[in-house]
Amino acid sequence: MSTQGMTAAERKKWNRLRKVNRGNVRIKHPLRDSVRKKVQEMYGTYAMEAAEPYVKMMCKPLKPEHELERQALKDESLKRRLSMPKQAICRKKADLRGDSKEARIVMMAMAAVEVARELGEASRMDRRSGMNQYGITRKQLLSAKRALLNHYKARITMGWEPEPSVKTPEERREDGVEQAVNHIHDMLSDVLSEEDHLKVNAEVEARLALLGEPTAEALTANTEVRMAVCAVFYATLVSLGLQAGMADRLGAVFGITGSGIRARYEAFASAEESGEADYNGAFLLIAMTCFEILATLHPEHTLIQKAGLGEACNSEKGSSSS
């Protein structure tokens, strides 16, 4: 393009723009991006999706129209709570804000997940592993969580956010089971063959159905949801001979110990074998698969009607009869 006919100022601007590397895109809110990535790194994709709205409201300034409303407020307390939470977190005293930028990013990531969990949008995560790994104290985490939660409640007061729906214990457990299962499948897809993964999936679904998970009347309802799901997966892996090293892998997904998962599975299996508890055969090592047990006990169950799983069941029966 010719610069002929341009003024000196226009030519100067054109020459500057011509040299700009358009391959570099400036991230408008780099801290938000860092916190999102940290949530995904620490807790996985599903937790990141659940925590995303809270990461956004923590790290992004208010919309211009909302900021005008905030500035016009006479209630100083409400006005303060509506300010960007990241500023409140990063400007606290040294003992509350953390001793590095990385620590503050971790603190905000954990706070967003904690708030999402408290509002019933994410399953419970083990805060201890993150706190120990990054040197975050309980006082620091609770301070960051309080800043975010106060901001969220203030937005509700202003009518900028809807009131959160109150979930029943059964709905919370259903969400927890679904998220835990998805997290574990993400891990298994990296370590099992596709064929083994499909077998595990079919048996896990059948085991959960035998246990009545996720419902308020589930046979494992008294067990914390992540531990119950891990025990179900571990029982499945044991039945398929794929358990070597898997307890630790399962534990790493949620920051719990592999020995704890093995102990819980063994307690379930021992109680069922001795007749102390009845888990519909979900933890018994017998010739029948859990899918076959489910088909026997509940032939009308929706799992039995699914074509893919039905074929898996038929193939299992065919191989056992031969």
Residue 5 C-beta-side C-alpha neighbours within 13 Å: 2
> Does 280 map to a domain?
yes
> Does 153 map to a domain?
yes
> Does 18 map to a domain?
no
> Does 15 map to a domain?
no
| pLDDT score of 276 | 93
Same domain, yes or no: 43 and 70: yes
Nearest CA among 118, 123, 128 for reference residue 224? 123
Nearest CA among 113, 156, 279, 108 for reference residue 206? 279
DSSP state of 214: T
Same domain, yes or no: 97 and 193: no
Q: Amino acid identity of 56?
A: K
pLDDT digits (tens, 9 = 90+) for 121-130: 877 777 777 7
Nearest CA among 78, 84, 145 for reference residue 118? 145
pLDDT digits (tens, 9 = 90+) for 1-40: 667 778 888 888 878 777 765 555 556 778 899 999 999 8
Is 272:283 a contact under the CB 8 Å cutoff?
Answer: yes
Q: How far is CA 302 from CA 199, 236, 266, in A?
A: 18, 20, 29
Is 125:254 a contact under the CB 8 Å cutoff?
Answer: yes
| pLDDT score of 269 | 94
Examine the fold and report which residue of 113, 135, 158 is the final residue of a domain before the chain moves on: 158
Q: For residues 180 and 275, what is the distance between their CA atoms, to the nearest angstrom? A: 29
Same domain, yes or no: 153 and 111: yes
pLDDT bin (cut points 50, 70, 90) of residue 301 is low
pLDDT digits (tens, 9 = 90+) for 51-109: 999 999 999 999 999 999 999 999 999 999 999 999 888 888 878 887 888 889 999 99
Same domain, yes or no: 316 and 178: yes
Q: What domain range includes position 105?
A: 30-158
Task: Identify the three-state secondary structure at position 14.
Answer: helix
Same domain, yes or no: 290 and 200: yes
Nearest CA among 223, 280, 269 for reference residue 243? 269
Q: Per-residue pLDDT for 312 more than 60? A: no
Nearest CA among 231, 191, 208, 203 for reference residue 316? 203
Provide the whole-model pTM. Answer: 0.66
| pLDDT score of 317 | 46
Q: How far apart are the first and last CA of the chain?
A: 78
Q: Does 318 or 53 have the greater pLDDT score?
A: 53
Q: Amino acid identity of 91?
A: R
Distance from the Cα of residue 94 to its chain's centroid = 30
Q: What phi-psi label fits residue 136: left (phi over 0), alpha (psi between -120 and 50 degrees) or beta?
A: beta
Is 147:112 a contact under the CB 8 Å cutoff?
Answer: no
Count the domains in the chain.
Answer: 2
| pLDDT score of 311 | 47
Q: Per-residue pLDDT for 314 more than 80? A: no
| pLDDT score of 28 | 73
Same domain, yes or no: 90 and 151: yes
Q: Would you call 140 exposed, middle or buried from its count of C-beta atoms within 10 A (0-12, 13-18, 19+)?
A: buried
> Does 238 map to a domain?
yes
